Amino acid sequence: MRRRVWIAISAVTAVVVLVLGAAYVFQRQLVYLPTGGPLPPASDVLPGGRDVTLRTTDGLALGAWFLPVPGARATVLVAPGNGGDRSLRAPLARALADRGLSVLLLDYRGYGGNPGSPSEEGLALDVRAAREFLVREAGIAPDELVYYGESLGGAVVAELATEHPPSAMVLRSPFTELAAVGQRHYPFLPVRLLLRDRFPVAEYVAASETPLTVVYGTADAIVPPELSREVAAKGGAEVVEVPGAGHNDLALLAGDRLIDAVDRAAG
């Protein structure tokens, strides 16, 4: 009898170890969901847009789309969420350009046909390459930059703002930290112990003096609205709530309330 009990315990332990090991090894495939390339030329998707190359300090050349607007009041650096590629953010770019704002659509390493594999450290280098392009090559003054971060991208630009503050920052559907989202979706796993990438957004906004706007949907099933509200509270943000909007709804991609919020932030 005792032998059977030990066999059962050993079997359960082996399964648990296997599940935890797989979760640790393959976690980035769950966090980062890129689509591949190649993508069409920017001008085919965004009239007036152009293809640009962002060069990271670790030697990667990343494709991006830049949509300059003559006499623009500001330039919006768009850091996307964890899925898709820059073509999915084209409606956002067009809507912002219609408001007199230039836009840079960034794709991270591993996204949209770009080389490399995404990670927290890698994305930090990618967004710095995007800012460097805007300031050094496009000639945009740092105080004319607005950072826009969508979901995971909110963590990316919030971290950037601690070192290179913009004139304003808009976070759409931000979370407090990646573990908080993971724990909601995988309550049976010790997410905080397993995660390799932290993305502590609440810490970043609390340490930043950049004027902040937080936009979120009340029906968001990916990033719970209370996490976005907590980020807003930490950063003393203007809050824009979009009733009934889910994480990937059009209202949170290029809806009027979202575009109005970015427009106000740009001044």
32-266 carries CATH number 3.40.50.1820: yes
Task: Please tell me the pTM assigned to this model.
Answer: 0.91
Of 64, 77, 67, the closest CA to residue 97 belongs to 67
Q: What is the pLDDT of residue 30?
A: 73
pLDDT in tens, 116-150: 999 999 999 999 999 999 999 999 999 999 999 99
Q: What is the pLDDT of residue 27?
A: 55
Arithmetic mean of pLDDT, 98-109: 98
The Cβ of residue 250 has, within 10 Å, a number of other Cβ atoms equal to 11
Angle at 230 between CA 128 and CA 208, to 5 degrees: 40
pLDDT in tens, 157-194: 999 999 999 999 999 999 999 999 989 878 867 778 87
Q: What is the pLDDT of residue 28?
A: 62
- Tell me the C-alpha distance between 214 and 151, whole Å: 11
The share of the chain scoring above pLDDT 90, in percent, equals 83
Q: What is the pLDDT of residue 15?
A: 37
DSSP H or E run through 193: helix 191-194
Q: What is the pLDDT of residue 4?
A: 56
DSSP H or E run through 38: none
- Tell me the C-alpha distance between 210 and 228, whole Å: 17
Q: Omega before 38 cis (within 30°)?
A: yes
Q: What is the pLDDT of residue 20?
A: 38
Q: What is the pLDDT of residue 36?
A: 84
**Which are the contacts of 160, defined by CB distance < 8 A and separation ≥ 6?**
124, 127, 128, 131, 147
Q: What is the pLDDT of residue 37?
A: 83
Of 168, 158, 161, 156, the closest CA to residue 197 belongs to 156
User: Does the structure show a pLDDT above 80 at 102?
Assistant: yes
- Tell me the C-alpha distance between 182 and 165, whole Å: 28
User: Does the structure show a pLDDT above 50 at 22?
Assistant: no
pLDDT in tens, 71-85: 999 999 999 999 999
- Tell me the C-alpha distance between 260 and 158, whole Å: 20
Render the burial of 63-75: b for 16+ CB within 10 Å, e for the rest.
bbbbbebeebebb
Q: How confident is the model at residue 92 (pLDDT cuts 50, 70, 90)?
A: very high
Arithmetic mean of pLDDT, 220-246: 98
